[in-house]
Amino acid sequence: MNIIVCIKQVPDTAEIRINPETNTLMREGVPSIINPFDLHAIEAAVQIREAGGGKVTVLTMGPPQAETSLREAISMGADEAILLSDRAFAGSDTWATSYTLALAIKKLEFDIVFCGKQAIDGDTAQVGPETAEFLGIPHISYIRKIDEVRDDYIKVERLMDDGYDVVESSLPVLLTVVRELNEPRMPSLRGKMAAKKAGIRKMCMTDIGADENSLGLRGSPTQVRNIFAPEVRAERKMIEGTAEEQVDNLIKELKDIKCL
């Protein structure tokens, strides 16, 4: 079984702070990590290989420094790693990202493609399904459990708002996974050694035969017009005084508007 895992190197968004004076992001010192959902995708792929044999290939699209995330994936048990990197990819929205990823995946053999359900920097959850569409294969989102995998068949549980669906699909298929699926393993010592030595295969625009007009900013239908901090609520009232006065005044306010 050939399994491809798409991963993304992201800034640890929990560590990002906003400069209150300029309303801009402060990135300095923010660590780069593998998107947390993608760790579960790697784990799922490695477990399937351990059970039935095959090969796990991790793929990332990003700047050259994303190589560190690929090595980390190898230390968790992935067999091969591919860095999809080109200046022409810069500024890609979800459409252009999916188009690019799909072209790279088409150069490989695959039965299952795994993605995390979404990346914590963009939070769109769109790249998985869009990539499946470009590949012309089915996809199942929000996988929380894998019940059965055979050569041409898979049965999984898909998390819904009000419960879960048991879904079957033919292969090849693309699956996006949620945290409940598994507990990602820590890299083993052997894994770390393998990660150090591993050769990283590199692919650029010409390697995947991409149409330059569909790449990066040029190929992206959406564009960011501007970014800003949320607005201040107009009718705000600060309640001053000692703690006791504050509490009494709040109670009074709530009584006045018939909320208590």
Partner 1 sequence: MPVIVIPDKCTGCETCLESCPFDAIEFRDGKAYINEYCNSCMNCLSGCPEGAIIETEPGARNTEHRQSLEDYKDVLVFAEQREGRVVPVSYELLGVGRRLSDELGARLIAVLFGAGEPEAQELVKWGADKVFLCSDASLRKFSDDVYSEMLAKIINEQKPSIVLAGATPVGRSFIPRVAARLRTGLTADCTSLEIDKETGNLLQVRPAFGGNIMAAILCPDYRPQMATVRPRVMKRGEYDENRTGEVITVQIDSTKSRTNVLEFVKEVSEVSVNLHEADIIVAGGRGIGGEKGYKLIEELAEALGGAVGASRAAIDEGWIPYSHQVGQTGKTVNPKIYFACGISGAVQHLVGMQSSDIIIAINKNPEAPIFNVATYGIVGDLFEIVPMLTKKVREVKGM
By CB under 8 A, what part of segment 183-222 binds partner 1? 213-214, 217-222
Output 57 or 98, the one with its CB closest to partner 1: 98
Closest CA to 138 of 176, 93, 104, 103: 176
Minimum CB separation of residue 246 from partner 1 in Å reads 5
Interface residue with partner 1, options 50, 109, 165, 183 (CB under 8 A) = 165
Interface residue with partner 1, options 53, 186, 199, 227 (CB under 8 A) = 227
Under rule CB under 8 A, residue 51 binds partner 1: no
- 97-130 burial string, b = 16+ CB within 10 Å, else e? bbbbbbbbbeebebbbbbbbbbbbebeebbbbbb
- Euclidean distance between CA atoms 222 and 174, whole angstroms: 24
Binding mask 11-40 for partner 1 (x = CB under 8 A): x-xx-xxx-x-xxxxxxx------------
Under rule CB under 8 A, residue 226 binds partner 1: yes
Under rule CB under 8 A, residue 166 binds partner 1: yes
Output 53 or 244, the one with its CB closest to partner 1: 244
Residues of this chain, 80-119, that bind partner 1 according to CB under 8 A: 90-91, 93-95, 98-99
* Virtual torsion, Cα 18, 24, 26, 30, nearest 10 deg: 90
Under rule CB under 8 A, residue 126 binds partner 1: yes
Closest CA to 99 of 229, 208, 238, 258: 208
Closest CA to 130 of 109, 113, 143: 113
Cβ-contact 42, 7 below 8 angstroms: yes
Under rule CB under 8 A, residue 256 binds partner 1: no
Under rule CB under 8 A, residue 229 binds partner 1: yes
